[in-house]
Structure 1
Amino acid sequence: MWKPDPNKLTSPKYLSIATALEQDIQTGRLVEGDKLPPQRELAYQLGVTLGTITRAYAEAERKKLVRGETGRGTFVAKTGDVRLPLMLASNTEGAQSYDLARSLGLAHLSPDLGQMLRELSDDPLVGSLNEYGPSEGTDHHREVGAQFLREYYGAPANACQTLVTSGAQHGIQTSMQALFNRGDAIAVDEMIYPPVLSVLATLDLQIVPIESERDENGHIIGMSARALEEACARQEIRGIFLIPNAQNPTTHTLSNAKRQKLAAIIEKYNLMVVEDDPYMPFISCKQKSFLELVPDNTVLIGSPSKVMSAGLRTGYVHVPQSTKTAFANAIGESTWMVAPLNVEIVSRWITGGQLQETLQRKREVLKQRYRFMKNTFPANTLQGGEEKLFAWLHLPQHQNAELVEQAALLRGVEVLSHRHFQAAPRTDINALRVSLSSIAHQAHFEEAITLLKASIDQLENLQAPRPMVG
């Protein structure tokens, strides 16, 4: 029978129980049809009131995580009924809302697709883009991909080891499929991009969260090399997943010194590195890639999607030569090949200068938006930067980030609390990921941030600790 860890429940407990249930469903620990314990029994085991469990189950049912059956009990609902927090939904009701939850890359500033399609229509070779091709991409498209990784990532990439994927997300999936076997253990950051957890669970790979290091403000600054080595000494870990630049969600970028320490452990234990770097093109100060530090152990995933081509779903993976066939097979099995027309458009934008022009436009907007956030929130609560697509907003411990998320939604603002990104339960992280890159108009963005601040202030007045009266 399912039971959350009572030592990790926070206040309000009904919401903490519902959150633990949601996390276990999202990570595959609970699956469709699993029966939950009777409410009285779970209340007794956790040492809480029956009303607390009733409210927790009601909250889970409201989110369509579970279903109650008269006379039989409460069961985990169909997985397909649970919408992942980062997925977009069609707005059938026409309700106005501001999206601070998803990082959509300021897609309205991307290059003119119509102009490129007109250019392609006049090319006598355009018909060849409607034919089958190699699963790993054509020689020309792979050369452009390697050029992109060299110029915008500073990585020692070559076309022979560069393959084309349907975006970075597809690159993650094919990497896990090509490199690892069922049951292998993969190290990840304690706060991580949620689809990674879903991919690992689907492939039956063990998730091993690794403790982070903190700065003087308690902000996460990267995976702890000491904690990684301790985990490798305790169990056989086969791989490690890292977002070393503008990490999602905490925004930190690993220093070269921290990369060197992690690389030493990676070499010592012969770990395979999946280096996911969708935000690297925005960052002007380049750190060393793990592809440079441990080239025989590293898969580098890069993509221009956030810069200029969200809808064209094009990405690149640079792989060790020994794994190239496995990657080509994984791409072929999942999608046969990436649409050559899409890759050709992206290639022309990379080589024709549109990527660089678009990058500059988006950097200016991100700079303006981050400065607005700095003027809105206390400096020590904000983690991010002027070249990052989202910020990590720390809340006081007496507040509850999940309640702030719900309060903001009532004001028409979508934002994500830390719970959506947790690889393992923690009680000392209390934050919101705030996107700077989904709302098109600056005035609307500023209004959304103002409404979010009002939601936080409202709960501050309700939840602030009361002084003791003598």
Structure 2
Amino acid sequence: MRLKSPWLPRMTDGEGHASDRLTNAISEDILSGHLQGGDRLPAHRDLAWKLDIGVGTVTKAYAALERRGLLRSVKGRGTFVSATRSRKGALVDLSANVLPLVLGNRLLARSLSAISRKIDSDHVNLRPPPAGHDEHRRLLGRWLEQLGVPAAPDRIILTGGGQQALWLAFDILCGGRGLIITERFSYAGAIALARYRGHPLAAVAMDDQGMCPEDLDRVLQEQRDSPRRRLVYVTPDTQNPTTRTMGRARREAIVRVCRQHQVPIVEDGVYSLGADPALPPLVAFAPDGVFHVSSLSKSLSPGLRLGVLVAPESGVAKAAEALQALPMTASPVDYALLEEWFSNGVAQDLRSALRAEAGRRTALAQGLLKGRALVSHDAAFHLWLPMPHAEALAFAAAALALGVAVTPPETVRADPDDSESGIRLCLGGPPTEDVTRGLSLLAGVQPGQRLTSGGGRSE
């Protein structure tokens, strides 16, 4: 006798295709822990009858989840959950901006088996060219084209991660101790990298669309006589840490100001989970003046250490020269995995699943932190609570005392003397139940609140 499925059939709300809504509902319940490894899913016909949809719709949804490794079908027995998400600790870590784990063990095993029959041994045994193998550059070029990034293979430099691509862009454009102009609140990794390399930082004001072109113009005017080489580092989409996204007119204005001052742009595009034709990346407006940085660890899986730098023609030779001294190419196995996932549709499934999961976690945070002045975006796995810096430090300390780690507020300020900052909360790393627990604890912490030595709260 077959065991009854413990799952209560449902589809997510919205106007999307029924198979996508069913896929999202099952994925959500697996990732949140409501469905455990080994749980049976309803038979195709039974589920179709209960939800009043076609059997083919159920088959399509189950197949998509199998490709991601979340479900497995056993001939003659049925369809079962194959993913498990069991790990709970005392500390809820909302400090690291990583993707949730949507890649199942079975999918990974199938993928590794498939690439073992295809991978060229020369790519393992032979040293790759400084910018990466041509076929890998073409592969990443196709991926970037899907995200709206014009990326001819001969302008692509492959690295072992987005941080390496960022380092390479900074080094090509500024060498040592050049001036990096960036948003008032910026990516902590870029700030740390700039300071490590001896680059001073200049902060530009922000509004609800990110970097303000008028203030950028002011900063560039003030620095026009500086002997330092200059660049503008900016993140137009779901900016880290604030999640702010530029409209098309804002993007054009930023490019226009930089052209007027003849200053190159380093565009951070690692947080784009999907291309919006109405919002092209900056490199699409100025391919000769923008270095575009991307990374697969922020758009597919955190374990894929693949970074991409799309450089203008004038920057390719400089990049190749730098890479002769410090090669950065990632493992050929990572590229083989990516090629396999492109060919069988898994890459698109993963990206769609991550986009849907980002929306769910953002909605969860908005509900639990209702009433707070938070800034969020439904395609981001982080959100921003703006507040004075002193209050942010107190908030972070109070959160840690409650068992919740948040991003240290001092790490995201371009100007270390800025009196304002905020709290970045990262929603992707822990399982949903831990995110819920952490946010519920933070909902009771008020700005400026500290915990007394006896565990009580004081203002």
Tell me the TM-score normalized by structure 1: 0.71
2:218 aligned to 221, 224, 230, which one?
230
Q: Given residue 319 of structure 1, which amino acid in structure 2 is its aligned partner?
A: A
Distance 2:444 2:185 in 1: 26
The equivalent residue for 1:410 is 401
**Is the Cα–Cα contact under 8 Å of residues 109 and 362 in structure 1 kept in the other structure?**
no
| Distance of aligned partners of 1:399 and 1:194 in 2 relative to their CA distance in 1, 3 Å threshold | closer
| Distance of aligned partners of 1:327 and 1:430 in 2 relative to their CA distance in 1, 3 Å threshold | closer
Distance 2:446 2:300 in 1: 33
Q: Given residue 148 of structure 1, which amino acid in structure 2 is its aligned partner?
A: W
What are the within-5 Å matches in structure 2 for residues 301-340 of structure 1? 301-335=293-327, 337-340=329-332
Distance 1:151 1:398 in 2: 39
The equivalent residue for 1:119 is 114
Q: Given residue 423 of structure 1, which amino acid in structure 2 is its aligned partner?
A: A
What are the within-5 Å matches in structure 2 for residues 32-431 of structure 1? 96-109=90-103, 112-123=107-118, 125-126=120-121, 128-152=123-147, 154-212=148-206, 214=207, 220-236=208-224, 238-282=230-274, 287-335=279-327, 337-378=329-370, 381-395=373-387, 400-425=391-416, 429-431=420-422
**Is the Cα–Cα contact under 8 Å of residues 161 and 307 in structure 2 kept in the other structure?**
yes
Q: Given residue 422 of structure 2, which amino acid in structure 1 is its aligned partner?
A: A
The equivalent residue for 1:88 is none
Q: CA deviation at 1:248?
A: 0.4
Which secondary structure does the structure 2 equivalent of 1:407 belong to?
helix
Q: CA deviation at 1:102?
A: 0.7
Distance 1:164 1:398 in 2: 38
Distance 1:433 1:288 in 2: 26
Q: Given residue 269 of structure 1, which amino acid in structure 2 is its aligned partner?
A: H
Q: Given residue 326 of structure 2, which amino acid in structure 1 is its aligned partner?
A: S
Distance 1:225 1:269 in 2: 12
Distance 2:428 2:277 in 1: 20
Q: Given residue 185 of structure 1, which amino acid in structure 2 is its aligned partner?
A: L
Q: Given residue 283 of structure 2, which amino acid in structure 1 is its aligned partner?
A: L
Which secondary structure does the structure 1 equivalent of 2:445 belong to?
helix
Q: Given residue 232 of structure 2, which amino acid in structure 1 is its aligned partner?
A: I
**Alignment partner of 1:445 is 2:435:** yes
Distance 1:186 1:430 in 2: 19
**Is the Cα–Cα contact under 8 Å of residues 268 and 292 in structure 2 kept in the other structure?**
yes
Q: Which has the higher helix share?
A: 1
| Distance of aligned partners of 1:262 and 1:444 in 2 relative to their CA distance in 1, 3 Å threshold | same
Distance 2:338 2:449 in 1: 45
Q: CA deviation at 1:119?
A: 1.1
1:454 aligned to 418, 428, 444, which one?
444
Q: CA deviation at 1:314?
A: 0.4
Alpha-carbon displacement from aligned partner over 1:130-159 (angstroms, at most 9, x marks no partner) = 32111111111101111111102x122211
Q: CA deviation at 1:431?
A: 2.2
**Is the Cα–Cα contact under 8 Å of residues 110 and 358 in structure 1 kept in the other structure?**
no
**Is the Cα–Cα contact under 8 Å of residues 381 and 394 in structure 1 kept in the other structure?**
yes
Distance 1:173 1:255 in 2: 27
**Is the Cα–Cα contact under 8 Å of residues 309 and 346 in structure 1 kept in the other structure?**
no
Which secondary structure does the structure 1 equivalent of 2:132 belong to?
coil
Q: Given residue 334 of structure 2, which amino acid in structure 1 is its aligned partner?
A: N
Distance 1:226 1:110 in 2: 47
Which secondary structure does the structure 2 equivalent of 1:322 belong to?
helix
Alpha-carbon displacement from aligned partner over 1:133-187 (angstroms, at most 9, x marks no partner) = 11111111101111111102x1222111112111111100011112223332221
| Distance of aligned partners of 1:128 and 1:431 in 2 relative to their CA distance in 1, 3 Å threshold | closer
| Distance of aligned partners of 1:149 and 1:247 in 2 relative to their CA distance in 1, 3 Å threshold | same
Q: CA deviation at 1:205?
A: 2.4
**Alignment partner of 1:436 is 2:399:** no
Distance 2:129 2:357 in 1: 38
Alpha-carbon displacement from aligned partner over 1:228-262 (angstroms, at most 9, x marks no partner) = 11121121362100111010001101111111111
Alpha-carbon displacement from aligned partner over 1:324-358 (angstroms, at most 9, x marks no partner) = 12112323432353222222222332343211101
Q: Given residue 388 of structure 1, which amino acid in structure 2 is its aligned partner?
A: A
Q: CA deviation at 1:449?
A: 0.9
Distance 1:114 1:185 in 2: 46
Distance 2:108 2:395 in 1: 38
Distance 1:118 1:374 in 2: 42
Report the identity percentage. Answer: 21
Which secondary structure does the structure 2 equivalent of 1:335 belong to?
coil
Alpha-carbon displacement from aligned partner over 1:423-455 (angstroms, at most 9, x marks no partner) = 114655352111110112x22221111112233
Q: Given residue 171 of structure 2, which amino acid in structure 1 is its aligned partner?
A: Q
Alpha-carbon displacement from aligned partner over 1:38-85 (angstroms, at most 9, x marks no partner) = xxxxxxxxxxxxxxxxxxxxxxxxxxxxxxxxxxxxxxxxxxxxxxxx
**Is the Cα–Cα contact under 8 Å of residues 398 and 463 in structure 1 kept in the other structure?**
no
Which secondary structure does the structure 2 equivalent of 1:119 belong to?
helix
What is the total number of aligned residue pairs between the two structures?
362
**Is the Cα–Cα contact under 8 Å of residues 241 and 274 in structure 1 kept in the other structure?**
yes
Aligned CA RMSD, in angstroms, stands at 2.5
Distance 2:125 2:458 in 1: 60
Which secondary structure does the structure 2 equivalent of 1:260 belong to?
helix
| Distance of aligned partners of 1:287 and 1:225 in 2 relative to their CA distance in 1, 3 Å threshold | same
Which secondary structure does the structure 2 equivalent of 1:188 belong to?
strand
| Distance of aligned partners of 1:335 and 1:312 in 2 relative to their CA distance in 1, 3 Å threshold | farther
Greater shift in the superposed pair: 370-379 or 136-145:
370-379
Q: Given residue 101 of structure 1, which amino acid in structure 2 is its aligned partner?
A: S
Q: Given residue 393 of structure 2, which amino acid in structure 1 is its aligned partner?
A: E
Q: CA deviation at 1:201?
A: 2.4
Which secondary structure does the structure 2 equivalent of 1:143 belong to?
helix
Q: CA deviation at 1:380?
A: 5.6
Q: CA deviation at 1:297?
A: 0.7
Which secondary structure does the structure 1 equivalent of 2:424 belong to?
strand
